Structure 1
């Protein structure tokens, strides 16, 4: 935790509000960048401001503008691609755990007239589905991928359109104020979806350009599971996810922390509910709870290595390197906790037990 708190607050503000040029494109109120956000007014302590800030959602205006850029890209695809498609958003923005005002947005581009089904599902052998006669799903997705690459280059000539990636076409720069990932895919109706007809149970098969294949994904189940955790913890879960993502970004070497946003959300999903269910005035207690929960993971390595992502797709921690990343995150949280406790108690030094007690008993105005 090399950066001092002033640098951290500056970097946090930059992450949450973007560069001056992007800010201008977002057309917020005049001089809004000079105004304080709510979390900055809740405490005079610098570390408290930082801790509160790394937990909060970004201004909804920025999120709205991220979605607006996604809509621009969707409209261009609709007008330029011959294959019939539909669209869905996935990732941190629809889940509202993104930490950047100028956040990337992921668009699933789904074949309109093709899907696969779980043949063990309750509706698999009924008239609800008909046999497909035509090109395979992979062949159609390959065609769609080629169409998208051509269309997006033509639609955004000043932007960088990176077609080298396996799963997504990555757009950035030019007239775009957000990075946009475009992901060719098709629906897969799971056995659960055939019964529930609930989108959270509907799966997606994502095209892999390099291997001419697809892989199974459950983006809507992931969102639903994290939202359920958020409800059970009275808003604590997403605050902790954002906290950990920001601490990774502010660490001396973010690249050494190998768990990504999806995996961080998965780890927090396995936190105990009660310790991260705190009232707004006691939000700093989430720092103490996060340290304890990460320590629980570290102290029980075989259990931690067995934990599955909320959507059940795979194990969250599948290597010693990723397990060590939990230790690195815990170190970041520990340092934040100690700096907070020293600030709150006006001491020069404080031990771990007193640090945790101080944060659990802390009070911060909600206004």
Structure 2
């Protein structure tokens, strides 16, 4: 029975992303039956988080870079954003976004035009100085200053790649009243055009809250979809932010609120629910254009969303193919090979999945 996807190749891709040179092996959990088929191993392993020791290594490397920046006669604070602090990254050696906050450039609610101009100039000056410092401190590394919002440093003695993002704190009214990090915003420096306000901490806070509510199922699905995005040929062009935001809107009850020690049939149900949610986003324009980011700060789609819809349709097809392959394994025997012509038939079969996925 021909599979729609080559799962041996995909497992190799996954192991390559999780390969530890020092150990000379891929770091995978194999939290499923040793007799499980390649398709099952691929799907389940794609959901698993990167080990904490490797994530901590990313932060250790970041602190090396931060220590060099801190030698400048300028006051900075540091923070992080993106997939690594969210624990939704899928590579052992994941890139990390470092927020470099120039504290003298801080803004508060009610700031004046002159104060904003001063902040912009201070951040521009800081970026210039940081670029020079990184080039001198890491002469064998590559420092890419072409990005509008960040510098990137990689290679040389560094085992990770880092985006260095210049910003200042913006203490809005909500943060001044609560003191909670999720209410604090930043002003992002942009060398190509006017900067902008952003609140990465609110986004991360909402993602973490939902994942806790659903017992970890939300982040498992994010990791799976990011893996499918990376392994698709040609690669699917969707940002991690969009995948995370779209799946934020799948109802809590649609996620498996259990861990991997519980019946695997519930995990299959979560995959089917994910596929159906993506289908709703693709086919229901009114629903799609009503979706916003997890912190409700921006709309995800507008009247110019055709390209994004095309890419989401590809992601949905990836899930369709995988679910039909899984369902055919459930229904087939050594004497009888079951095939499905459409996803809906396969979904019914998956509802009966049990021992094979244990």
Fold-level match, TM-score > 0.5?
Answer: yes
Distance between the aligned counterparts of 1:196 and 1:186, measured in 2?
19
* Cα gap change, 1:42 to 1:117, in 2 (>3 Å): farther
Aligned residues: 344
Q: Which residue of the partner structure matches residue 255 of structure 2?
A: 276
State the distance in 1 between where 2:320 and 2:240 align.
20
- Assess, with a 3 A threshold, how the Cα gap between structure 1 residues 36 and 317 changes in structure 2: closer, same or farther: same
Corresponding residue number in structure 2 for 1:128: none
Alignment partners' CA distance in 2, 1:52 and 1:4: 16
1:329 counterpart SS class: helix
Alignment-derived partner of residue 170 in structure 1: 152
Show structure 2 runs of 5+ residues with no match.
none
Measured against aligned partners, the alpha-carbon deviations of 1:132-185 in whole angstroms (never above 9, x if no partner) come to: 989710010011000111011111111110011101101111111111110010
Check conservation: 2:107, 2:116, Cα contact below 8 A.
no
The CA distance in 2 between the partners of 1:35 and 1:249, in whole Å, is 18
Residue 183 of structure 1 aligns to a residue whose secondary structure is strand
Structure 2 counterparts to residues 23-172 of structure 1, below 5 A:
23-24=20-21, 27=22, 30-31=23-24, 33=25, 37-39=29-31, 41=33, 43-79=35-71, 81-119=72-110, 136-172=118-154
- 311, 319, 322: which one aligns with 2:308: 322
Cα distance in 2 for partners of 1:210, 1:302 equals 34
Q: What TM-score results when the alignment is normalised by the length of structure 1?
A: 0.87
Question: Does the CA-based 8 Å contact 2:328-2:338 persist in structure 1?
Answer: yes
CA apart distance, 1:285:
2.5
CA shift for structure 1 position 82 = 1.9
SS of residue in 1 equivalent to 2:47:
coil
In structure 1, runs of 5+ residues without a counterpart are 18-22, 125-131
TM superposition shift of 1:88 = 0.2
Q: Distance in 1 between matches of 2:226 and 2:270?
A: 14
Q: Distance in 1 between matches of 2:357 and 2:321?
A: 24
The CA RMSD over aligned residues, in Å, is 2.5
Q: Which one of 175, 178, 184 corresponds to residue 166 of structure 2? A: 184
Shift in alpha-carbon separation, 1:34–1:150, aligned structure 2, 3 A:
closer
- Kindly report which structure 2 residues correspond to 1:191-230, keeping only aligned pairs within 5 A, or say none: 191-211=173-193, 213-230=194-211
Q: Distance in 2 between matches of 1:133 and 1:117?
A: 10
CA distance in 1, matches of 2:352, 2:210: 24
Partner of 1:127: none
Taking the aligned partners of 2:67 and 2:26, their CA distance within structure 1 comes to 34
**1:289 counterpart = 2:273:** yes
Q: Deviations over 1:285-329 (max 9, x none)?
A: 222111111112123112202311112332223421112221111
In the alignment, structure 1 residue 344 sits paired with structure 2 residue 336: no
| Secondary structure of the structure 2 residue equivalent to 1:230 | helix
Indicate the residue corresponding to 1:260 in structure 2.
239
Deviation sequence 1:83-121 (CA, Å, 0-9, x none): 1100001100000000111100000000123311223xx
Contact 2:225 2:315 in 1 (8 A): yes
Cα shift at 1:358: 3.2
**Counterparts of 2:163 and 2:218 in 1: how far apart (Å)?**
26
Q: Distance in 2 between matches of 1:189 and 1:35?
A: 41
Distance 1:258 1:160 in 2: 25
In 2, the alpha carbon distance for the partners of 1:7 and 1:317 equals: 34
Rate the CA distance shift 1:366–1:204 in 2: closer, same or farther, 3 A. Answer: farther
1:38 is paired with a residue of what secondary structure? coil
User: Which secondary structure does the structure 2 equivalent of 1:165 belong to?
Assistant: coil
Structure 1 position 60, deviation (Å): 1.7
